[in-house]
Amino acid sequence: MRLALQFQYAICGVFDLAYNGRGEPVQVRVISERQAIPARYLEQIFRRLRQGGVLVSKRGPGGGYNLARPPAQINLCELVEAVEGPLAETFEMEPAPEAAGHRPDFLWVALAQNFARVLGDTTIEDLCVQAERSQVPRAESEAPMWFI
């Protein structure tokens, strides 16, 4: 099984906001550069995440995206469902032809339930903690600009 690219990018983008955002709005362009994701594609994904209640956006100078809730309250299942739709549909199999009545169709339901449980139990905060343990470097904070 291979996770959809949209879901992978959603995880990377939201992780970047939590790990490097420092609670401030971050522009998609900045995240796309750090995560090597095309900015236009990331913008589409973030729009879905905003509609799904995972992100909030701020327009204008100093604008960008931020997490809608603390990282401990956002799980990976929310991300996949915001960008891909209900998880059960991801594992849906084509109906079996009459001649293939001996297939283990019960397996797909069990896989979807177990995958949903693992994703639901994994929060963005868990990713940040593991990244820190693995010594993933944080983005350098920009020096404040003072205008007189």
- What's this model's pTM, rounded to 2 decimal places? 0.83
pLDDT digits (tens, 9 = 90+) for 82-135: 998 887 776 666 666 665 667 787 887 888 889 889 999 999 999 999 999 999
5-133 is a CATH 1.20.1270.10 domain: no
What's the token pair of residue 40? Answer: 């236009």
Report domain extents, the chain: 5-133
Predicted confidence band of residue 75 (pLDDT cuts 50, 70, 90)? very high
**What is the pLDDT at residue 102?**
73
Average pLDDT (20-48) is 94
CB 49 within 8 A of CB 31: no
Average pLDDT (42-56) is 96
**Helices of type H across the chain:** 5-20, 28-35, 39-51, 76-84, 87-90, 106-121, 124-133
DSSP lists the bridge partners of residue 56 as 66
pLDDT digits (tens, 9 = 90+) for 22-31: 888 999 999 9
What's the token pair of residue 85? Answer: 């739709």
What percent of the chain clears pLDDT 70, i.e. is strictly above it? 85
Closest CA to 45 of 61, 58, 32: 32
Q: Could you say which DSSP state residue 143 is in?
A: P
Interacting residues of 81 by C-beta distance below 8 A, sequence separation 6+: 52, 87
Report helix, strand or coil for 122: coil
**Phi–psi pair at 27, nearest 5 degrees:** -75, 145
